[in-house]
Amino acid sequence: MKKLLLVVICGFCLAFVHQSNNVEFESQLQEFYKNVESLSANFKQEKHSMLLLEPLKSEGKFYFKKPDAIRWEETKPQPNYFAINGDIVVRFDGKSKTVSDNPDMQIKMFKRFILKTIDGSILNDKNFSKQFEDLGETKRFVLLPNQKQLKKRMAKIELLFNSKTYLLEELKMFESEEEFTVIQFNGQSANKELKPELFN
């Protein structure tokens, strides 16, 4: 009986420490991003699907500048990019560039998702339940959709943040266990001056 009581007490203590670490890191993460005006990073992306014999792979560069300017540029296998700056959307398919000032709902949702993911504010989104894992050098958050419409589009999101720099190192988006996209970031730089033309 005493051993059982000890196990229960230890379990409560570990759960309290786990929750405390979670809240503390989230607070530090959001405080850090209050002072971040820009971000740039290299990325490697893999798209996994049951319909593919091998994952689709791409590489490129990502840029962000407050308040809401984003550029996602693939350099491999084929150069292309799109940029969002306010309501202006620029697409380059490798041959020609198009500009629109009327973004569709998909672009708006993507923009909102990226901005909330970058600064970690997605962790407070009530549309998701949250799981936390302290891996030492990194912190992993697993977001599970609560909303019926969201569940139709995704099974879960996994975010891996560096424990010291607070920068996002990996993003996984699961439509199912077999259908998912992995994006790994490296060479991240915060508050580096970015030329305005990157977003035009």
Expressed as residue numbers, the domain containing 35 is: 2-199
Tokens representing residue 50 in the block? 């049951």
User: What is the per-residue pLDDT across 123-142, written as a single tens digit (0 to 9) for each?
Assistant: 888 888 989 899 999 999 99
Report residue 57 as tokens: 């792979």
Find the CATH number of the domain harbouring 22. Answer: 2.50.20.10
Closest residue by Cα to residue 85 from 103, 97, 61, 60: 103
Query: How many other C-beta atoms lie within 10 A of the C-beta of residue 183?
Result: 18
pLDDT in tens, 5-61: 333 333 333 333 344 467 888 888 888 888 899 999 999 999 999 988 899 999 999
Number of domains in the chain: 1
pLDDT value of residue 15: 35
User: What would the pLDDT profile of 173-190 be if each residue is shown by its tens digit?
Assistant: 999 988 999 999 999 999
